Amino acid sequence: MQDNKAKLIGLVVIALLAVAGTGAVVMLNNREPTNQTSEAQDSTTTTEHANAKSTENTGNSYKDGTYDADGSYRTPGGAERVSVKVTLIDSTITAVEVTGSGSGESAQYQELFKDGISDVVVGKNINEIQVSRVSGSSLTSTGFNNAIETIKQEATTSA
């Protein structure tokens, strides 16, 4: 029943976006967003979707410092979690560290993600980060993106 409800919601969102004439970003069946207007992605590279998710803090800056947050995500085997630590200077990520709690296949994907994430986000403005796939790991990205959103909230400075 809940699966049918999710599919119905997804179809309604697609229909609304089609009517509005915009590029669609769709999330179905707990899979990560895919940009319907982009070309096919190489599964071993990382693709960032700057337009995939708007952020509330585009006009504010972030406090320099090191921040930690956890992000959760679902896999076919159940719920998983990653811990993310980033260092920000002038709203730019200068260092990143990811630790996972997965076992078995999830642990393998978390390791692949950890090995490749630095090349993707270091040197980028935190508002431009929306990771979808790193070294073949796509589900871990959801947990990472959730943690980044928490870090943005913690690091926000008042205007």
Report domain extents, the chain.
Answer: 1-30, 42-155
Residues 6 or more apart in contact with residue 40 via CB below 8 angstroms: none
Lay out the sheet containing 78-89: strands in order across.
65-75, 78-89, 92-100
CATH topology of domain 42-155: Sufe protein. Chain: A (3.90.1010)
Convert the pLDDT of each residue in 58-79 to its tens digit.
556 899 999 999 999 999 989 9
- Site of tokens 């980060």: 129
- The pLDDT of residue 61 is 82
- The pLDDT of residue 104 is 85
Q: Where are the strands (E) in the chain, listed by range?
A: 25-26, 34-35, 65-75, 78-89, 92-100
Does the pTM surpass 0.85? The reply is: no
